[in-house]
């Protein structure tokens, strides 16, 4: 995608949602860190359901350690990989108390040294809690960047490097939120909703998904009988033309 197209891409996403942010609930950097660790291979909505009652009482690593791994594991058992995540959250809470004065560190290196914290989690925390211009690439961002031609790459690191290079000001800080939300609600994995997409003309993906009322249902196209005689099939032929062709090649039955 050309430089002016990239600018226009983000300008339109920004126009549609001027103040994007994470959908994970938290009230301070520590809760955000815990929520992001829990969100790996889980939905934000699922994490919020589990953390809502917990975060009313647990706002700091000391309280989490006191709560204990067994109780925390039980509290988050609706989330995938809950056992490993519970272990990591208790371990990272201990590390924050021991090495960082119970504060969430502000550098990528220190964050990634914590148990259960990878590059994507560090990027989200640096961006959302501390306002850094980082580009967390999750499954939605990866899909949108490749489908649209915005920042194609074979893996998340390659996409992140491209985003670092191409995203212009004033969109750098919120770019990853716009991309996540666009992928989650419009450019969906199974069926992108191109007909209502604000960046459709800039996007390289083809063929674009038609509005629900304009799509040909495969079964209707196959039988042709119930469809209108002028309805076009995926091949561009009309149902009546196909029926006519069929009758020409079908052998006549003798009485
Ligand atoms: S046009 Fe379709 S594929 Fe392209 S970004 Fe929009 S929803 Fe995604």
Q: Report CA(187)–ligand 1 centroid distance (Å).
A: 5
**233 band by pLDDT with thresholds 50, 70 and 90:** very low
Top-level CATH class of 29-130?
mainly alpha
C-beta atoms surrounding 14 within 10 Å: 16
The question of whether 120 is a catalytic residue gets the answer yes
Spatial neighbors of 251 by CB under 8 A, at least 6 apart, are none
Q: Which of 17-21, 96-100, 232-236, 251-255 has the highest mean pLDDT?
A: 96-100
Q: Report CA(177)–ligand 1 centroid distance (Å).
A: 16
Per-residue pLDDT tens over the stretch 208-221: 999 998 887 766 55
Location of structure tokens 């893996």:
155
Per-residue model confidence (pLDDT) at position 219: 65
Using the atom order of ligand 1, give the atom closest to the CA of residue 208: 2
Which of 77, 85, 99, 138 is an active site residue?
Answer: 138
- pLDDT above 70 (res 136): yes
The DSSP line for 95-154 is: HHHHHSTTSPPSSHHHHHTSTT--HHHHHHHHHHHH--------HHHHHHHHHHSSS--S
Which residue(s) pair with 232 in the sheet?
Answer: 238
Mutate to test the pocket of ligand 1, among 5, 183, 192, 193 (most ligand atoms within 8 A of CB): 192
- Ligand 1 pocket, CB under 6 A: 147-148, 186-187, 192-194, 197, 199-200, 203, 205, 208
The question of whether 138 is a catalytic residue gets the answer yes
pLDDT above 90 as % of the chain = 80
Q: Please choose, from the candidates 80, 215, 193, 87, the residue with its C-alpha nearest in 3D space to the C-alpha of residue 147.
A: 193
Q: Please choose, from the candidates 7, 16, 5, 6, the residue with its C-alpha nearest in 3D space to the C-alpha of residue 198.
A: 16
Tokens representing residue 167 in the block:
């995203």
Residue-range domain boundaries for the chain: 3-20+135-196, 29-130, 216-249
Which of 4, 44, 120, 217 is an active site residue?
Answer: 120
Per-residue model confidence (pLDDT) at position 36: 97
Contact between residue 79 and residue 38 where contact means Cβ atoms under 8 Å apart? yes
The contacts found for 186-194 with CB under 8 angstroms, 24 or more apart, are: 187/140, 187/143, 187/144, 187/147, 187/148, 189/139, 189/143, 192/147
The model carries a pTM of 0.81
Top-level CATH class of 3-20+135-196?
mainly alpha
- pLDDT above 60 (res 241): no
Q: How far apart are CA 174 and CA 137, in angstroms?
A: 13
**253 band by pLDDT with thresholds 50, 70 and 90:** very low
- Considering only CA atoms, which residue is closest to atom 2 of ligand 1? 194
Q: Please choose, from the candidates 51, 52, 60, the residue with its C-alpha nearest in 3D space to the C-alpha of residue 28.
A: 60
Per-residue model confidence (pLDDT) at position 41: 87
- Considering only CA atoms, which residue is closest to atom 4 of ligand 1? 203
């Amino acid at each position: 995608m050309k430089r002016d197209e990239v600018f226009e891409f983000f300008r339109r996403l920004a126009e549609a949602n001027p103040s994007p942010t994470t959908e994970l609930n938290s009230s301070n950097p520590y809760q955000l860190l815990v929520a992001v660790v829990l969100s790996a291979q889980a939905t934000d909505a699922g994490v919020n359901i589990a953390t809502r009652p917990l975060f009313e009482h647990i706002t700091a690593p000391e309280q989490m350690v006191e709560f204990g791994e067994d109780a925390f594991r039980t509290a988050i058992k609706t989330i995938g990989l809950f056992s490993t995540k519970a272990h990591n959250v208790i371990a990272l809470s201990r590390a924050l108390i021991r090495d960082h004065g119970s504060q969430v560190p502000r550098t990528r290196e220190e964050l990634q040294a914590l148990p259960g914290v990878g590059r994507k989690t560090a990027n989200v925390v640096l961006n959302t809690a501390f306002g850094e211009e980082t580009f967390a690439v999750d499954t939605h961002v990866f899909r949108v960047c490749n489908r649209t031609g915005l920042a194609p790459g074979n893996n998340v690191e390659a996409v992140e490097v491209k985003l670092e290079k191409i995203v212009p000001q004033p969109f750098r800080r919120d770019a990853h939120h716009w991309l996540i939300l666009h992928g989650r609600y419009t450019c969906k994995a199974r069926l992108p909703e191109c007909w209502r997409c604000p960046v459709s003309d800039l996007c390289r993906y083809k063929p674009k998904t038609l509005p629900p009322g304009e799509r040909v249902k495969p079964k209707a196209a196959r039988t042709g009988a119930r469809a209108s005689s002028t309805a076009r099939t995926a091949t561009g032929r009309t149902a009546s033309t196909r029926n006519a062709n069929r009758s020409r090649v079908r052998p006549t039955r003798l009485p």
